[in-house]
Chain A
């Protein structure tokens, strides 16, 4: 058997989690640290074989806290670093995710969501961590999160997550669920050299005794990675643009919080827009993300085939929340039905963006399963009546 040292390219029948791992390899991932957890473990298993073949490091650590800590440490040496977990792991990682935000550390965090709260159900798909990844750590901050709906998007959005993390110096989440992680589908992997690789910007060589602004730039500061003589000072404490601690002055905190958030808001327009279908003249729009978004699209098509003025919208970037893009996509609709495999986590954000009167939530009859088309269509007909 020949060892597959190169990035694969071609058509494959892959599990979503395997596609995610291949996406990481295609994106130039050189470091993975993780802890076993259903339904994300296959990513670590796949990389445990594939990363060392390509000169990278894949390590299993004592818990999720150390996994994200090691990822952040590795990223500061210049590695393109990733971890993969599920909700309980995100809970444990929360504090260090805040640290990655505060220190502007590029990293990719894959969350293959499962049923929760607590241990919940390991292998049942659920969209329970949508707000957690956005607000799970203390303080006020912004991150980026993408929601794949297929094995193909597990590949594509993992590639994009690395590029985005490097470009914005921020943790980027791939928010899958147990169904997307475990489904097997055709995945087309383009030739490795056709993928535009995005690298973080590095500073000019340090000039002796002259401080250089390496942090808190709303247009993303260059990153003074370790081992290049920058003598970088990296702290999760409130700091100035030189990385020097200021734990006394409120104006320093103001700049620390505002600039980190503004950095993400400024780049929001460069992130993938919602996928839309039949929205131009739709009176009812089915809005869903991840696998539920795929179901919303299918149900929307079925409704159209039956002569109903229905469209569908699937946010690909879930954070930062694309309020304006959604408003544009839903312009003609008098009713937006937000389909989520939870009790309505993104619903308040959609209501705030589009007006509460036009927006209603719809969970599946049984949480952890897909919405039944006839239930959704029945509600659509009621609304149109």
Chain B
């Protein structure tokens, strides 16, 4: 009898299975959810071009996914992906990158791609910090949180990325967390089925930088917090702003819902 094999192993580039992610990182959950969604839809990686930028989340597809992969400059994967999609409309083009990459340095490309409603799937892995460079504040870091560059706490309010792309014109918008891998998989499936600009935000844990600096704790602490403090989009509509403070609204904001909601 042969040794049991991970069912998603066939989607990984031969010889590039080992990850550089830190212990406890959410990258593995996100990568699995994306591959599971592709698997469940019966798609082939040969149909895809994966585009990513600089930062930890860019290393989810690059070099691990056995597919055409364009690992671009910092902040620009959506712009590169726009060129890929316009020149080769038959390709499924998916961007997987981080919050700093997509929403700080690359924010302008993100909102313009949403405005164009170009047929891209963007998975934004939001770990609320710059992980690779050692834990600096991001536009997604909650106000008051201590980081390497905000030793007295972050003075600025955080971006709500889903509201941002929704306002800009995105036609599929969903948010989940790494504590919701099934719902995340369903959202990625819905995003892939959707024709037009699809944005999936995934709140992800970064125990080594964010968890330590913010004193949120270990990976399991953050996952527990994600689970406990998430509010479904329908339930959230009935709650007052004060009741939503410090909580994450999850679910599908725009477009057809995933099948696990």
- A: which residues have CB within 8 A of B? 30-31, 33, 57, 59, 61-63, 65-66, 69-79, 81, 95-96, 99, 209, 226-227, 229-237, 244-245
Q: Contact check, B91 vs A226: say whether CB atoms are below 8 A apart.
A: yes
Closest 10 CB pairs of A and B: A70-B83, A73-B83, A74-B87, A66-B79, A69-B79, A77-B88, A235-B71, A73-B80, A73-B84, A74-B83
Q: Contact check, B76 vs A59: say whether CB atoms are below 8 A apart.
A: no
B227 within 8 A of A: no
B-chain residues with CB within 8 Å of residue A75 when the two chains form the complex:
83
B13 within 8 A of A: yes
B-chain residues with CB within 8 Å of residue A59 when the two chains form the complex:
86
A-chain residues with CB within 8 Å of residue B80 when the two chains form the complex:
69-70, 72-73
Task: Name the contact of A236 in the complex, choosing from B68, B71, B90 (C-beta under 8 A).
Answer: B71
Pick from B28-36, B59-67, B147-155, B232-240 the stretch touching chain A: B59-67
A-chain residues with CB within 8 Å of residue B72 when the two chains form the complex:
69, 99, 236
Task: Name the contact of A230 in the complex, choosing from B68, B79, B87, B91 (C-beta under 8 A).
Answer: B68
Q: Contact check, A73 vs B70: say whether CB atoms are below 8 A apart.
A: yes
Task: Name the contact of A227 in the complex, choosing from B13, B90, B108 (C-beta under 8 A).
Answer: B90
* A-B Cβ contacts below 8 A, count: 119
A33 to B84, CA, bound (A): 12
Q: How many B residues touch A, CB cutoff 8 Å? A: 32
B51 within 8 A of A: yes
Q: Contact check, A70 vs B82: say whether CB atoms are below 8 A apart.
A: yes
- B: which residues have CB within 8 A of A? 13-14, 16, 45-46, 49, 51, 62-63, 66-73, 76, 79-84, 86-88, 90-91, 108-109, 112
Task: Name the contact of B87 in the complex, choosing from A31, A229, A236, A237 (C-beta under 8 A).
Answer: A31
A245 to B69, CA, bound (A): 12
Q: Contact check, A229 vs B84: say whether CB atoms are below 8 A apart.
A: no
**If A66-B112, A70-B86 touch, does A236 touch B73 (CB 8 Å cutoff)?**
yes
A-chain residues with CB within 8 Å of residue B71 when the two chains form the complex:
233-237, 245
A-chain residues with CB within 8 Å of residue B84 when the two chains form the complex:
73-74, 76-77, 226
**If A70-B79, A99-B73, A233-B13 touch, does A57 touch B86 (CB 8 Å cutoff)?**
yes
Q: Contact check, A71 vs B83: say whether CB atoms are below 8 A apart.
A: yes
Closest chain A residue, CB of each to CB of B63 = A233
Q: Contact check, A227 vs B91: say whether CB atoms are below 8 A apart.
A: yes
Chain B CB count within 10 A is highest, among A30, A66, A71, A209, for: A66
A209 to B51, CA, bound (A): 22
A247 to chain B, nearest CB (A): 10
